[in-house]
């Protein structure tokens, strides 16, 4: 399969590549959860220890096991520049690189009582290997030609 335009493969980061947790993040965690600094740092350290981090020139990606027995993955994606633009092909490539090309993932739009919206981040939830979501198309149908003049079928080139 071809890579999306403007794509550089993700690089897995090691512990030596991690920056210390910034003071502002600790303070926001303290305020948000009503806890002291020691508890906030412990909470952040515990969450970070579960994760594997990846990065390229556009995105920082945090991956952690979740779901029953840790058989699913939670992929948290943010743009390095803090921007809001989202490229579907890039997200598909991120899913492929960190979870595998034959695993399915969803981006959920929850009911308001479950809404989490604290930063410019996107979340993908990856099903266990061999599981299907049960909705959507069953066969591949991909078009990479531009079709600029075909109403309803405009596509940008790969």
**Domain segments of the chain as ranges:** 11-126
Checking if the pLDDT of 145 tops 80, the result is no
Residue 118 pLDDT:
81
In angstroms, rounded to a whole number, what is the distance separating the alpha carbons of residues 151 and 126? 33
Q: Which residue has the tokens 């002291």?
A: 36
What are the tens digits of pLDDT across the range 116-137? Answer: 888 889 999 999 999 998 887 7
Residue 12 pLDDT:
95
Q: What is the mean pLDDT of residues 28-35?
A: 94
Is 113 in a helix, a strand, or coil?
Answer: helix
> What is the phi-psi region of residue 147: left when phi exceeds 0, alpha when psi lies from -120 to 50, beta otherwise?
left
> Residue 157 — very low, low, confident or very high, per pLDDT cuts 50/70/90?
low
């Amino acid at each position: 399969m071809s890579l999306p335009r403007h794509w550089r493969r993700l690089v897995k980061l090691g512990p030596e590549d991690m920056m210390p947790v910034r003071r502002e993040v600790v303070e926001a965690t303290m305020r948000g959860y009503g806890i002291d600094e020691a508890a906030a740092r412990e909470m952040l350290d515990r969450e970070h220890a579960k994760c594997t981090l990846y990065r390229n020139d556009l995105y920082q990606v945090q991956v952690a096991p979740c779901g029953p027995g840790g058989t699913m993955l939670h992929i948290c994606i943010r743009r390095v520049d803090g921007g809001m633009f989202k490229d579907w092909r890039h997200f598909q490539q991120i899913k492929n690189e960190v979870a595998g090309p034959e695993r399915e993932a969803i981006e959920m739009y929850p009911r308001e009582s479950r809404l989490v919206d604290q930063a410019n981040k996107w979340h993908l939830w990856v099903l266990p290997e061999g599981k299907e979501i049960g909705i959507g198309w069953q066969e591949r149908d991909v078009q990479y030609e531009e079709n600029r003049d075909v109403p309803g079928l405009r596509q940008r080139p790969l």
